Amino acid sequence: MNNQYVKFGALFVTGLLIGSALTWLYLGPKSESAESRTDDTAVIDDDSDIKSGDSGLIGSGVNPDVSGDTDSGSGSAPVLTSNSAIAVSNQPAGMSVTVRKVELQETGWVVIHEGSDNQIGNALGAARLEAGVHENVVVELLRGTTANALYFAVIYQDNGDREFSLDTDFPALGAGGAPLMSAFRTN
């Protein structure tokens, strides 16, 4: 009788493993080539350069779900800063993100957000930068990135208090009205 329980248990575990593997293959992350994209997300390769005033490069057409009331009544709503730009490359998962190049017209923040279906998710970390061009900016994260996931590096305007807050600091907007950002994946 004990032998039957062992066989039944082994068959059950085998079936569970096969079912899980098939589910993972069917529902797992799908690879997407630049040619198959149907949205207007800017795709930046590792060798591209950002140019001042090229608002079509970053943030063109991406309409992420950015939390925060943009009509605060205090004049702190986002303004156009189309001459700012940001570029980040795909990189290994970890507790920091290296932003390849950032150009800011005024003091601001580079904020790393989780991403899902081209929507901005939780903020993981932020770094304040003065106006100017910055290269290889390391943004330390409160919670690390995970492998094979989508993230966004977003430029935020500082409200003048030099402390980052999702409630009072807002994404900088490009000429098309979309947040200035660069999407990247971890490996």
> Quick check: is 35 in a domain?
no
> Quick check: is 163 in a domain?
yes
Helices and strands: H and E segment counts in the chain: 1, 7
- Are 70 and 142 members of one domain? yes
Distance CA 131, CA 83 (A): 11
Residue-wise pLDDT for 4-54, tens only, equals: 888 877 888 787 778 777 776 666 554 443 333 333 333 333 334 443 333
- Are 9 and 77 members of one domain? no
- Are 103 and 147 members of one domain? yes
pLDDT band at 170 (very low <50, low <70, confident <90, very high): very high
pTM: 0.59
> Quick check: is 59 in a domain?
yes
Residue of 30, 51, 36, 79 whose CA lies nearest to 179: 79
Range with lowest mean pLDDT among 41-45, 96-100, 108-112? 41-45
- Are 52 and 12 members of one domain? no
- Are 168 and 145 members of one domain? yes
> Quick check: is 16 in a domain?
yes
Distance CA 168, CA 37 (A): 33
> Quick check: is 177 in a domain?
yes
> Quick check: is 179 in a domain?
yes
> Quick check: is 70 in a domain?
yes
- Are 180 and 123 members of one domain? yes
- Are 177 and 142 members of one domain? yes
Please determine, for residue 155, whether its predicted confidence score (pLDDT) is greater than 70: yes
- Are 125 and 146 members of one domain? yes
> Quick check: is 36 in a domain?
no
- Are 136 and 56 members of one domain? yes
- Asked if 84 and 108 count as a contact pair (C-beta separation under 8 A), the reply is yes
- Are 148 and 70 members of one domain? yes
**How many domains would you assign to the chain?**
2
- Are 5 and 69 members of one domain? no
SS3 content of the chain, % helix, strand, coil (to 5): 15, 30, 50
> Which tokens sit at 80?
């156009």
Please determine, for residue 96, whether its predicted confidence score (pLDDT) is greater than 90: yes
Residue 118: how many CB atoms within 10 A of its CB?
A: 17
- Are 52 and 3 members of one domain? no
Domain around 103: 41-185
